[in-house]
């Protein structure tokens, strides 16, 4: 069975099927179905990868190792959550006449395509194809960001696509450099540009070219991953996109870009030793972590705050990888997963709040969200508890793993900085959410009357997070360890 | 160590009887020094008896605390008295408490005295309680420091042991440590017993009284207990002072020795009372907010005393 | 006696399960208020009872007893284990938690009724159980990871409970402040534990024992400071205390009682655990630091308490004071360990820990009393209270017992532990020849100051609240609290009396603890006169017997009674108005106020308080005949106004400056990337 | 090496010439204020790129590269300029407004960037493969394209700048490797660029509708 192919094809097909004149419920169901299948296939892929180490398909066009499998799993989980949430969300926007039916269809078409592009990124064997797929994720999501067609969303989309495309142009240059390095070692006219062929040759590649390639890829994919200072599009796009899209952007797309970056990191490390790329990653990761808290602290917009929190987490993941000990890489990968489950919940809750209060400004929302929207408020509270890294949720654990790994590696300063940044962003998020969640609602605001909108998706994600926080199934744990081994260069 | 019941009874009686006498003497001598005739020395006994016989008028706003307070004040003072060696070198209840317990018991009495002052809801009572507690608070560290100085020298907080140590040849009379500690304790004594320059026991002027303000609503036997308790407390503190710093003539055992001891003790006590009288007549009452200055001087003396144990050992 | 049965893991697991069950019961039955109250607090009471038995048995069994140790959950990854372990130190604090848990749960059965129809009682019960569970696990966890998890959950649930009445801004802000401070502390703890982890290679507490020897001095000192700050925040050491007086009062009173009684003790637990168990023989300055901090906390805590007229805030500040007193014990113990006097160290440690349980008991008692008052008068402002002694007799009595105990007056428990502290300090003078020894008596004098100020404060607290005429309408119509609330207070009152009168019995339980931490067993030396009296452990030291004093006091009561019988047999008692200076109509407005009561102290310490007063007078023809008079008086909280507020302002200012980076211009964003690109290209050359 | 060395030399010269012309066009673009002229300049630049690809294909007999050249002509010389032209007519913009840096400064900056391009490319130039010496120009194109992007404020000019960056990357691909990228990658890139420009066009249109302006400096509502 063509496992990898179906992971990419199923959502793509679902997206194209949504172009057909079907009722909206069917469209939503198709979305859910597509990502549900993808998730199931992801689980199957994990098993396969654990058994065979590497799975390839279509003449090695598609390639999956443990790292890819892990990415597939979390991308599909986030997407499934988004799809579950999206049905009611879009319906309500239609009821409020915030969007037109045509735009609703656009949403249901583009979302699975966006997902398919992400799957292609993590499954592509050819680095050039991977680049093209990353570009495809940007292009498929930009119209989603602009879905509301308001001034702000257009502005956000414009910045997203301009900065993203520019970044990706640089990443392409980086990709070209890698290819050039590959060409240098052989006299074949078209040497293979496949990951599976490049890796064994890595140590023979021209270090100078790879250095340049990594720098360019770092800026390029780093822009897409939202590393500071290339992150500037991130709060705009995350805050203006429809909430399901925000969730996918933050929960999956950022990590997919990191994945692309990681592939370059692995290659560079295999060629040059880990020092060069590691230090760069460390610098950018720390900068992202340290830059986020001040913005959270004085933020005025709920979803922008969540976006900055994502910046913080992306920084942590990069730092974890950059610390380059098995423990920190494991922690970083785990953190990717936990964050992928936690952040969408917050975006979904923010979506409900947006639809009820018609604003995301803290001041406009006012206090007392828990009283007006008890379910949403409660779940948001729990999600926030998870996202700021408090137990019993796993982010506490993964953050601690990264920090302790850093300390064990003798990087005391780095560990202290990570901790300081995390605490600062905790303070920010707490202070901001304490302004809106508890308290007495402003008078004159109508009750939504739809307390359970989107609750299923949120409960599923949070439940999953809680479950995996206290219990990691052995295969999953092994998968993550294997993936960490791939990144750390110890197969 | 064991309890000696006769000792306990003896000292209780001594405390009960001697306390009004000391108060009476102070009053009488003070009047004499001011060229007045003054009440007779026995007047205090007569007052107490009279109060006991009188009917009690209780404020209608007061609660049970008001009626309990006099008993607590009285018993606490009496109990504190039993922890101090008076005529003999051994306090009858020294097993039950050391000097810290003594301070604690006095504080307990003060606590209830202040509550009793607050209970009727009169502004005077509140004012008195407030000032009493304030002054006690600033007096307390000086008191403790002075006590620590002697306790450290004796290696114990047990009063009997402290006194016995003072009788031993190791004791140096004019050791600067002791002089300064004595001075500190003397100031504290003035504050704690409501003497000029801290409080004027003779006044009933609203704005200056402290101790009397708290007793304003008390009458009859309650007033008697309060006053008696106050004079016992005064006696206890004076005893503490004379026996720690002038441990001469403390009896060892035997009725004759005890009788002699009582006499010497009374003489020392009266000497100290005379000193108090002299201070009272030669000084004016301080403004309330100048009192802390006086007490901080006592605290400094206590600190110096401690430092000098360090310097002159 | 099946001590072994109690000491097996089963009862402990049962207790923990009960908490979980209580939490779930509260959530499941949240629509049925009575059922939720009964089930959740009932479960909590049962669990606490069970925990009490287990911890007491473990302490009585001593070091030798096979204390239970088990993994609560299977571990996620090898280095994180959920080890529950009942060692003497943990058991002692477990005892505190369980004792208070029992009393407070019983109390809550009645107290929760005040929320019916207004707030969700089920949620309150659930969080309460969760808090109890987390706190218990903090004391019983045997692994740093697990400890931190329990620690954070404790903070989280406490935050939810502080913000329970989140309709009030005050509660929300206090909650945030609490959580932020707590989290800062946790950050320090994480680093501290990681330093230990680095040295030992594992996270188990067993591996941390006396680890200090294996660490470099720099790291050891760093760990000391990190733990001091981390645990100090939770304990409320000045100047890390600012969250405490705002968080404790706004929580429901049963929660305040628990927070003040137990939760801040988690900080003490941590300090004791870190300093005596983990970090090994201390350098001299550790003890000096801790002792000084203790003195500062004690004095400043009580001074600020005196300025309060919010009953619960007043109590909260007293918690800071008492934490200071406990720290004096711990600090002295550290100094003794440094100078090589383990026996004295044990004495000082006992003093600190005894004060820990004492403070837990009487502070919880006072908070419960305050809760009952709040329940009856719907205000925390003492200026609107008064006259409650007549209307709430039992509550008044219990509160009075608590007040006497906290003021360290004989014959109750507060005096006993302060006596032990004094003794430790006094004996410390001889342990060293350096000038450092002057610290001991000075600390003692400061302790005396603290005690006297505390007494003043509680004269005010009790006097203004319970005595004289009611100052407000609610106070005039106050009713006695329901039975369960009284029972809860009664349990703690009994504990106060027991701990006061029978310290020698209780001290035996501390033996395994001092043996664990200092290697000395002391209770034998601390008893004299067949266990009737408490001795300071030295051959010639002083003794004190609360039992003796109590009995002697009762016996001496005969004297006034006899006198009364002799002379006053025929005297009558009659009621009359209070003396009103001949101007009829004494009203409550003429009574002394709480603010007035503490004014002399405000003036004496005005350098600290910086009091401000504003008076506005409106008059028609002469200023001496004012028609209205407005008077305001403020006291400055130095730490808040001088340290924390400027700090926060600075942080926010910097953050706002940074916002300019994200100014919305795509050109600027492109330039950021461009410059980064140039920099990296040059870097990669 | 399939081709004889004399013709290879010729090819190399041709490629260098065309690359240099691309750079000249780029510099013209930097100082050009009229959008329509800009589009034309881009078309010519792309034509040179296609020419370079054609030369490489010719001298190496590589069919794949011919396809790349053809695609470039179709897409970048014909289709994209047409698309952009249509956009310009639809939203009626003629002139770019004042750039961030004025022309002399811009030229100075571009000179600096060219220098940087040469420095970065130096370790890789002078290799035996055809067109390798154009790498410096490719990098310069990328950098100046980038500079152009933030120097201008009209959305369409920014798109144009992005496209020149893209040209630079493609030139680098040819410069660094014998035959450019594998065909599948080329296709991927080609279609991505096409779709990107179309989407950008949609956005530009919508922005024009909402903001009544194409000035991106007015897109600054999202702050902080």
ipTM: 0.92
d(CA C646, CA C641): 7
Helix (H, G, I), strand (E, B) or coil at C381: strand
* Spatial contact of C26 and C126, defined as CB atoms under 8 Å apart: yes
Q: Does D153 touch chain C (CB under 8 A)?
A: yes
Q: Does A102 touch chain D (CB under 8 A)?
A: no
Residues of C in contact with A438 (CB under 8 A): 163, 166, 172, 175
D224 within some domain: no
Contacts of A292 (CB under 8 A, 6+ apart): A228, A308, A309, A311, A312, A315, A421, A425
Q: Is the pLDDT of residue D3 over 50?
A: no
Confidence (pLDDT) at B1: 44
For residue D200, give the nearest of A159, A161, A239 by CB distance. Answer: A161
* Spatial contact of D67 and D158, defined as CB atoms under 8 Å apart: no
Q: Does C663 touch chain A (CB under 8 A)?
A: no
Confidence (pLDDT) at A453: 81
CA C548 to chain centroid: 29
Confidence (pLDDT) at B250: 79
Looking at CA atoms only, how far is residue B34 from chain C in angstroms? 31
Token couple for D96: 């770019």
D73 within some domain: yes
DSSP type of residue D78: I
> In the beta sheet, which residues pair with residue C575?
B58
- What band does D2 get if pLDDT is binned at 50, 70 and 90? very low
Q: Is the pLDDT of residue C233 over 50?
A: yes
Q: Is the pLDDT of residue C589 over 90?
A: no
CA C599 to chain centroid: 26
Contacts of C514 (CB under 8 A, 6+ apart): C346, C349, C350, C520, C521, C522
C55 within some domain: no
D215 within some domain: no
D85 within some domain: yes
User: How many percent of chain A have pLDDT more than 90?
Assistant: 73
d(CA B154, CA B177): 13
Q: Is the pLDDT of residue D129 over 50?
A: yes
Looking at CA atoms only, how far is residue D120 from chain C in angstroms? 7
Looking at CA atoms only, how far is residue C660 from chain A in angstroms? 10
Is the pLDDT higher at B109 or at B244? B109
Token couple for C346: 């044990």
Nearest to B194 by CA among B132, B237, B108: B132
* Spatial contact of A113 and A11, defined as CB atoms under 8 Å apart: yes
Backbone angles phi, psi at C343, to 5 degrees: -65, -45
Confidence (pLDDT) at B7: 85
D221 within some domain: no
- What band does D94 get if pLDDT is binned at 50, 70 and 90? low
Stretch C394-412: mean pLDDT, rounded? 95
Q: Is the pLDDT of residue C22 over 50?
A: yes
User: What torsion do the CA atoms of A420, A425, A426, A430 make, to the nearest 10 degrees?
Assistant: 150
Confidence (pLDDT) at D130: 56
Overall number of domains in chain C: 3
Token couple for B152: 């450290």
Helix (H, G, I), strand (E, B) or coil at A471: coil
- Of A99-108, B160-169, B273-282, the least confident: B160-169
D219 within some domain: no
Stretch A3-10: mean pLDDT, rounded? 93
Q: Is the pLDDT of residue C514 over 80?
A: yes
Q: Is the pLDDT of residue B72 over 90?
A: yes
* Spatial contact of C670 and A163, defined as CB atoms under 8 Å apart: yes
User: Can you say whether residue B217 is alpha, beta or left, with left for phi > 0 and alpha for psi between -120 and 50 degrees?
Assistant: alpha
DSSP type of residue C510: G
Search chain D and give the residue with CA nearest A132: D188
Token couple for A162: 């301009």
Whose structure tokens read 């799975």?
A: A55
Q: Is the pLDDT of residue B52 over 60?
A: yes
Is the pLDDT higher at A79 or at C437? A79
Confidence (pLDDT) at A304: 95
Which residues 238-257 in chain A show a CB within 8 A of chain D? 239-240
Whether D192 sits inside 8 A of A129 (CB atoms) is no
Q: Domain check: are C337 and C420 in the same one? A: yes
Confidence (pLDDT) at D134: 83
Contacts of A405 (CB under 8 A, 6+ apart): A320, A323, A325, A326, A327, A328, A330, A331
Residues of D in contact with A193 (CB under 8 A): 181-182, 185
C40 within some domain: no
Search chain A and give the residue with CA nearest D157: A162
Structural domain span for residue C353: 309-546
Confidence (pLDDT) at A89: 92
- Of B258-267, C49-58, D6-15, the least confident: D6-15
d(CA D61, CA D1): 10
Output the CA angle C314-C316-C320, nearest 5 degrees: 110
Confidence (pLDDT) at B313: 54
Q: Is the pLDDT of residue C530 over 80?
A: no
* Spatial contact of A375 and A308, defined as CB atoms under 8 Å apart: no
Q: Is the pLDDT of residue B89 over 90?
A: no
Contacts of A244 (CB under 8 A, 6+ apart): A82, A83, A85, A86, A89, A111, A347, A348, A351
- What band does A341 get if pLDDT is binned at 50, 70 and 90? very high
- Of A131-140, C371-380, C448-457, D208-217, the least confident: D208-217
Residues of B in contact with C463 (CB under 8 A): 114-115, 118-119, 126, 129
* Spatial contact of C436 and C291, defined as CB atoms under 8 Å apart: no
Stretch C627-656: mean pLDDT, rounded? 89
Out of A182-196, A310-324, C7-21, the most confident range is A310-324
Confidence (pLDDT) at D181: 78
Confidence (pLDDT) at D1: 40
Report the predicted TM-score, pTM, of the whole model to 2 decimal places. Answer: 0.94
Q: Does C661 touch chain D (CB under 8 A)?
A: no
Helix (H, G, I), strand (E, B) or coil at C487: helix
Stretch B56-77: mean pLDDT, rounded? 94
Q: Is the pLDDT of residue B226 over 60?
A: yes
Whether C664 sits inside 8 A of D216 (CB atoms) is no
> In the beta sheet, which residues pair with residue C634?
C612
Overall number of domains in chain A: 1
Q: Domain check: are C530 and C600 in the same one? A: no
Confidence (pLDDT) at A444: 65
Which residues 463-482 in chain A show a CB within 8 A of chain D? none
Helix (H, G, I), strand (E, B) or coil at A378: helix
Token couple for A468: 């995996």
Do you find a cis peptide bond into D183, omega within 30 degrees of 0? no
Q: Is the pLDDT of residue B2 over 60?
A: no
Whose structure tokens read 């020298």?
A: B153
Residues of D in contact with C670 (CB under 8 A): 146, 149-150
Confidence (pLDDT) at A279: 92
d(CA B24, CA B30): 10
Search chain B and give the residue with CA nearest C547: B96
SS (H, E, C) chain A: CCHHHHHHHHHHHHHHHCCCCCCHHHHHHHHHHHHHHHHHHHHHHHHHHHHHCCEEECCCCEEECHHHHHHHHHHHHHHHHHHHHHHHHHHHHHHCCCCCHHHHHHHHHHHHHHHHHHHHHHHECEHHHHHHHHHHHHHHHHHHHCCCCCHHHHHHHHHHHHHHHHHHHHHHHHHHHHHHHHHHCCCCCCCCCEHHHHHHHHHHCCHHHHHHHHHHHHHHHHHHHCCCCCCCHHHHHHHHCCHHHHHHHHHHHHHHHHHHHHHHHHHHHHHHCCHHHHHHHHHHHHHHHHHHHHHHHCCCEHHHHHHHHHHHHHHHHHHHHHHCCHHHHHHHHHHHHHHHHHHHHHHHHHHHHHHHHCCCEHHHHCCCHHHHCHHHHHHHHHHHHHHCCCCCCHHHHHHHHHHHHHHHCCCHHHHHHHHHHHHHHHHHHHHHHHHHCCCCCCCCCCCCCCCCCCHHHHHHHHHHHHHHHHCCCHHHHHHHHHHHHHHHCCC
* Spatial contact of A390 and C186, defined as CB atoms under 8 Å apart: no
Q: Domain check: are C598 and C653 in the same one? A: no
The two beta strands, B56-59 and C573-576, are parallel
Confidence (pLDDT) at C614: 82
Q: Is the pLDDT of residue A174 over 90?
A: yes
Whether A472 sits inside 8 A of C76 (CB atoms) is yes
d(CA B69, CA B112): 5
Confidence (pLDDT) at C81: 82
Which residues 15-74 in chain C show a CB within 8 A of chain A? 73-74
Q: How many CB atoms lie within 10 A of CB A319?
A: 30
D216 within some domain: no
Stretch C304-321: mean pLDDT, rounded? 94
Q: Is the pLDDT of residue B252 over 80?
A: no
- What band does C2 get if pLDDT is binned at 50, 70 and 90? low
The angle, 0 to 180 degrees and rounded to 10, between the axes of the packed helices A455-470 and A374-387 is 30
Q: Does C666 touch chain D (CB under 8 A)?
A: yes
User: What torsion do the CA atoms of C79, C83, C87, C93 make, to the nearest 10 degrees?
Assistant: 110
Looking at CA atoms only, how far is residue B136 from chain C in angstroms? 7
At least 3 CB pairs under 8 A between chains A and D: yes
Confidence (pLDDT) at C262: 94
Element at A64 (helix H, strand E): strand A62-64
- What band does B5 get if pLDDT is binned at 50, 70 and 90? confident
Nearest to A183 by CA among D186, D58, D181: D181
Query: pLDDT tens-digit profile of B38-49?
Result: 899 999 999 999
Confidence (pLDDT) at C328: 96
Looking at CA atoms only, how far is residue A18 from chain C in angstroms? 34
For residue C666, give the nearest of D219, D223, D224 by CB distance. Answer: D219
Question: How many CB pairs lie under 8 A apart between chains A and C?
Answer: 136
Q: Is the pLDDT of residue B152 over 80?
A: yes
Structural domain span for residue D56: 5-210
Q: Domain check: are C392 and C496 in the same one? A: yes
Looking at CA atoms only, how far is residue D108 from chain A in angstroms? 23
Q: Is the pLDDT of residue C531 over 70?
A: yes
Query: pLDDT tens-digit profile of D80-92?
Result: 999 988 888 887 7
Whether D142 sits inside 8 A of A152 (CB atoms) is no
Residues of D in contact with C666 (CB under 8 A): 150, 158, 216, 219-220
Confidence (pLDDT) at D223: 83
Confidence (pLDDT) at C1: 42
Looking at CA atoms only, how far is residue C187 from chain A in angstroms? 7
Residues in chain C: 685
Q: Is the pLDDT of residue B179 over 80?
A: yes
Confidence (pLDDT) at C540: 64
Confidence (pLDDT) at C5: 61
Search chain D and give the residue with CA nearest A308: D224
Q: Domain check: are C603 and C454 in the same one? A: no
Query: pLDDT tens-digit profile of D154-180?
Result: 888 888 899 999 999 988 888 777 677
Is the pLDDT higher at D30 or at B174? D30
- Of C317-321, C416-420, C482-486, D206-210, the least confident: D206-210
Q: Domain check: are C477 and C343 in the same one? A: yes
Stretch C295-310: mean pLDDT, rounded? 94
Whether D223 sits inside 8 A of C664 (CB atoms) is yes
Query: pLDDT tens-digit profile of A457-479?
Result: 999 999 999 999 888 888 999 99
User: How many percent of chain D have pLDDT more than 70?
Assistant: 89
Structural domain span for residue A112: 3-488
The angle, 0 to 180 degrees and rounded to 10, between the axes of the packed helices B159-167 and B99-118 is 130
Q: Domain check: are C526 and C664 in the same one? A: no
Q: Does A29 touch chain D (CB under 8 A)?
A: no
Overall number of domains in chain D: 1
Stretch C623-647: mean pLDDT, rounded? 85
Q: Domain check: are C529 and C415 in the same one? A: yes
Q: Does D149 touch chain C (CB under 8 A)?
A: yes
- What band does C68 get if pLDDT is binned at 50, 70 and 90? confident
Query: pLDDT tens-digit profile of C151-206?
Result: 999 999 999 999 999 988 899 999 999 999 999 999 999 999 999 988 888 888 98
D218 within some domain: no
Confidence (pLDDT) at C539: 58
Whether B137 sits inside 8 A of C597 (CB atoms) is no
């Amino acid at each position: 069975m063509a496992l990898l192919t179906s992971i990419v094809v199923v959502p793509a097909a679902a997206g194209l099927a949504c172009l057909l004149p079907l009722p909206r419920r069917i469209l939503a169901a198709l979305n859910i179905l597509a990502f549900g299948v993808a998730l199931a296939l992801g689980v199957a892929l994990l098993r396969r990868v654990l058994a065979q180490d590497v799975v390839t398909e279509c003449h090695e066009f598609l390639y999956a190792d443990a790292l890819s499998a892990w990415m597939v799993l979390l991308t599909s989980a986030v997407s499934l959550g988004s799809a579950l949430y999206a049905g009611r969300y879009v319906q309500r926007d239609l009821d409020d006449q915030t969007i037109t039916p045509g735009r609703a269809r656009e949403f249901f078409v583009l979302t699975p395509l966006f997902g398919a592009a992400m799957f292609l990124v993590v499954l592509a064997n050819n680095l050039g194809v991977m680049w093209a797929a990353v570009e495809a994720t940007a292009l498929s999501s930009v119209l989603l960001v602009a879905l509301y067609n308001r001034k702000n969303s257009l502005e956000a989309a414009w910045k997203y696509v301009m900065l993203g495309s520019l970044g990706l142009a640089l990443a392409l240059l980086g990709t070209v450099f890698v290819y050039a390095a590959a060409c240098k070692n052989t006299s074949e006219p078209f040497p293979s540009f496949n990951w599976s062929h490049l890796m064994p040759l890595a140590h023979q590649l021209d270090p100078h070219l790879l250095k340049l390639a990594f720098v360019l890829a770092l800026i390029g994919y780093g822009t897409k991953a939202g590393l500071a200072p290339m992150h500037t599009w991130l709060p705009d796009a995350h805050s203006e996109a429809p909430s399901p899209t925000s969730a996918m952007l933050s929960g999956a797309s950022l990590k997919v870009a990191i994945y692309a970056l990681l592939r370059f990191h692995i290659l560079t490390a295999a060629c040059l030793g880990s020092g060069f790329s590691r230090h760069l990653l460390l610098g950018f990761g720390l900068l992202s972590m340290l830059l986020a808290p001040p913005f959270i602290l004085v933020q005025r917009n709920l979803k922008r705050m969540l976006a900055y929190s994502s910046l913080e987490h992306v920084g942590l993941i990069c730092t974890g990888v950059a610390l380059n000990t098995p423990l920190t890489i494991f922690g970083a990968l785990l953190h990717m997963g936990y964050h992928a489950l936690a952040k969408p919940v917050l975006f979904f809750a923010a979506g409900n709040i947006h639809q009820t209060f018609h604003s995301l400004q803290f001041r406009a929302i006012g206090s007392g969200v828990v009283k007006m929207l008890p379910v949403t408020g409660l779940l948001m509270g729990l999600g926030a508890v998870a996202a700021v890294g408090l137990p019993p949720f796993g982010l506490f654990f993964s953050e601690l793993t990264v920090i302790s790994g850093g300390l064990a590696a003798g990087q005391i300063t780095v560990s202290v900085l990570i901790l300081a940044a995390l605490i600062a962003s905790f303070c920010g998020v707490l202070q901001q959410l304490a302004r809106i969640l508890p308290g007495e609602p402003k008078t004159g605001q109508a009750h939504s009357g739809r307390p359970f909108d989107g609750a299923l998706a949120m409960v599923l994600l949070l439940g999953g997070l809680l479950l995996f926080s206290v219990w990691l199934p052995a295969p999953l744990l092994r998968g993550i360890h294997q993936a960490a081994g791939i990144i750390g260069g110890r197969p | 160590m064991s309890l000696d019941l006769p000792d306990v009874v003896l000292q209780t009686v001594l405390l009960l009887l001697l306390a009004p006498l000391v108060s009476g003497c102070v009053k009488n001598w003070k009047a004499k020094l001011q060229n007045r005739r003054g009440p007779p020395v026995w007047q205090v006994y007569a007052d107490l008896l009279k109060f006991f016989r009188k009917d009690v008028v209780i404020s209608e706003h007061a609660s049970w605390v008001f009626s309990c307070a006099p008993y607590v004040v009285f018993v606490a003072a009496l109990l504190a008295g039993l922890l101090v060696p008076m005529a003999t070198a051994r306090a009858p209840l020294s097993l039950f408490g050391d000097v810290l317990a003594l301070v604690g018991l006095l504080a307990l009495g003060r606590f209830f005295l202040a509550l009793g002052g607050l209970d009727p809801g009169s502004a005077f009572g509140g004012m008195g309680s407030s000032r009493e507690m304030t002054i006690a608070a600033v007096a307390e560290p000086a008191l403790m420091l002075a006590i620590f100085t002697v306790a450290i020298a004796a290696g114990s907080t047990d009063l009997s042991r402290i006194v016995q140590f003072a009788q031993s040849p190791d004791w140096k009379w004019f050791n600067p440590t002791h002089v300064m500690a004595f001075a500190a304790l003397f100031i504290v004594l003035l504050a704690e017993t409501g003497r000029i320059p801290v409080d004027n026991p003779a006044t009933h002027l609203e704005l200056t009284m402290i101790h009397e303000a708290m007793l304003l609503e008390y009458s009859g036997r309650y007033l008697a207990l309060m006053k008696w308790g106050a004079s016992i407390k005064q006696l206890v503190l004076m005893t503490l002072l004379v026996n720690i710093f002038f441990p001469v003539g403390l009896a060892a055992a035997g009725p004759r020795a005890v009788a002699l001891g009582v006499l010497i003790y009374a003489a020392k006590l009266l000497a100290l009372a005379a000193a108090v009288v002299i201070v009272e007549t030669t000084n004016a009452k301080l403004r309330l907010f100048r009192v802390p200055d006086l007490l901080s001087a006592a605290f400094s003396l206590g600190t110096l005393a401690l430092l000098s144990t360090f310097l002159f050992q | 006696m099946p001590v072994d049965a109690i000491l097996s893991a089963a009862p402990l697991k049962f207790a923990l399960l009960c908490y979980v069950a209580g939490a779930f019961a509260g959530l499941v039955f949240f629509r049925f208020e009575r059922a939720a109250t009964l089930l959740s607090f009932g479960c909590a009471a049962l669990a606490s009872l069970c925990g009490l038995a287990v911890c007491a048995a473990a302490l009585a069994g001593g070091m030798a007893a096979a204390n239970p140790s088990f993994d609560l959950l299977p571990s996620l990854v090898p280095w994180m284990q959920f080890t529950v372990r009942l060692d003497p130190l943990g058991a002692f604090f477990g005892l505190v938690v369980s004792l208070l848990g029992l009393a407070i749960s019983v109390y809550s059965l009645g107290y929760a009724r005040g929320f019916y129809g207004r707030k969700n009682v089920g949620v309150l019960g659930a969080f309460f159980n969760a808090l109890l569970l987390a706190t218990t696990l903090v004391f019983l966890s045997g692994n740093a990871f697990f400890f931190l998890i329990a620690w954070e959950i404790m903070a989280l649930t406490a935050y939810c409970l502080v913000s329970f009445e989140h309709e009030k801004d005050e509660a929300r802000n206090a909650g945030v402040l609490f959580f932020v401070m707590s989290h800062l502390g946790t950050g320090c703890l994480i680093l501290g534990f990681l330093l230990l982890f680095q040295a030992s290679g594992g996270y188990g507490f067993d591996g941390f024992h006396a680890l200090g020897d294996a660490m470099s001095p720099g790291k050891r000192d760093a760990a000391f400071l990190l733990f001091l700050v981390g645990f100090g925040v939770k304990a409320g050491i000045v100047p890390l205390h600012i969250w405490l007086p705002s968080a404790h009062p706004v929580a429901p009173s049963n929660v305040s009682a628990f927070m003040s009684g137990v939760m801040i003790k988690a900080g003490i637990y941590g300090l004791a655990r870190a300093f005596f168990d983990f970090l090994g023989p201390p350098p001299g300055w550790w003890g000096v630091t801790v002792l000084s901090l203790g003195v500062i906390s004690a004095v400043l805590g009580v001074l600020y308490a005196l300025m309060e007229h919010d009953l619960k805030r007043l109590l909260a500040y007293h918690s800071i004071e008492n934490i200071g007193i406990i720290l004096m014990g711990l600090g002295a113990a550290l100094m003794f360990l440094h100078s090589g006097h383990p026996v004295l160290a044990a004495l000082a440690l006992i003093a600190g820990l005894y004060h820990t349980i004492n403070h837990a008991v009487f502070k919880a008692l006072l908070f419960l009393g305050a809760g009952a008052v709040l329940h009856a008068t719907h205000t925390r402002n003492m200026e609107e209270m008064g006259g409650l002694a007549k209307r709430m007799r039992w509550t008044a009595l219990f509160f009075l017992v608590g007040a006497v105990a906290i003021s360290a007056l004989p014959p109750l428990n507060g005096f006993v532990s302060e006596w032990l502290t004094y003794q430790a300090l006094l004996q410390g003078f001889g342990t060293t020849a350096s000038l450092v020894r002057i610290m001991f008596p000075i600390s003692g004098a400061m302790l005396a100051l603290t005690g006297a100020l505390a007494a003043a404060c509680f004269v005010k607290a009790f006097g203004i609240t319970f005595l004289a005429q009611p100052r407000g309408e609610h106070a005039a119509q106050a009713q006695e609290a329901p039975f369960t609330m009284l029972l809860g207070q009664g349990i703690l009152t009994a504990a106060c009396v027991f701990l006061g009168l029978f310290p020698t019995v209780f001290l035996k339980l501390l033996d395994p603890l001092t043996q664990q931490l200092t290697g000395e067993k002391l209770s034998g030396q601390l008893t004299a006169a067949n266990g009737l009296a408490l001795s300071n452990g030295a051959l010639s030291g002083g003794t004190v017997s609360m039992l003796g004093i109590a009995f002697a006091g009762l016996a001496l009561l005969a004297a006034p009674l006899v006198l009364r019988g002799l002379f006053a047999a025929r005297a009558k008692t009659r009621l009359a108005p209070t003396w009103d200076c001949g101007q009829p109509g004494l009203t409550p407005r003429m009574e002394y106020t709480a603010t007035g009561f503490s004014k002399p102290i405000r003036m004496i310490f005005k350098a600290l308080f910086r009091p401000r007063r504003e008076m506005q007078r409106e008059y028609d023809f002469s200023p001496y005949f004012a028609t209205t008079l407005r008077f305001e008086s403020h006291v400055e909280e130095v730490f808040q106004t001088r340290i924390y507020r400027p700090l926060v302002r600075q942080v926010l200012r910097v953050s706002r400056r940074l916002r300019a980076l994200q100014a919305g211009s795509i050109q600027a964003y492109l330039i950021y990337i461009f410059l980064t690109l140039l920099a990296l290209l040059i870097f990669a050359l | 090496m399939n081709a004889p060395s004399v013709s290879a030399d010729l090819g190399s010269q041709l490629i260098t010439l065309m690359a240099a012309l691309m750079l000249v066009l780029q510099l013209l673009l930097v100082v050009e204020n009229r959008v329509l002229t800009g589009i034309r300049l881009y078309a010519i630049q792309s034509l040179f790129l296609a020419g370079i690809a054609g030369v490489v294909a010719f001298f190496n007999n590589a069919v794949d590269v011919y396809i790349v050249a053809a695609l470039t002509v179709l897409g970048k010389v014909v289709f994209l300029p047409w698309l952009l032209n249509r956009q310009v007519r639809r939203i009626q913009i003629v002139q770019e407004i004042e750039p961030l840096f004025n022309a002399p400064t811009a030229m100075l900056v571009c000179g600096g960037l060219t220098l940087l391009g040469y420095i970065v490319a130096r370790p890789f130039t002078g290799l035996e493969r055809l067109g390798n010496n154009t790498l410096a120009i490719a990098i310069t194109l990328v950098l100046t394209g980038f500079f152009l992007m933030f120097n201008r404020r009209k959305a369409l000019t920014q798109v144009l700048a992005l496209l020149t960056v893209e040209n630079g990357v493609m030139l680098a691909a040819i410069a660094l490797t014998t035959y450019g990228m594998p065909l599948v990658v080329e296709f991927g890139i080609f279609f991505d660029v096409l779709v990107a420009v179309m989407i950008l066009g949609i956005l530009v249109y919508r922005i024009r509708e909402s903001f009544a302006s194409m000035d991106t400096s007015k897109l600054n509502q999202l702050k902080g």
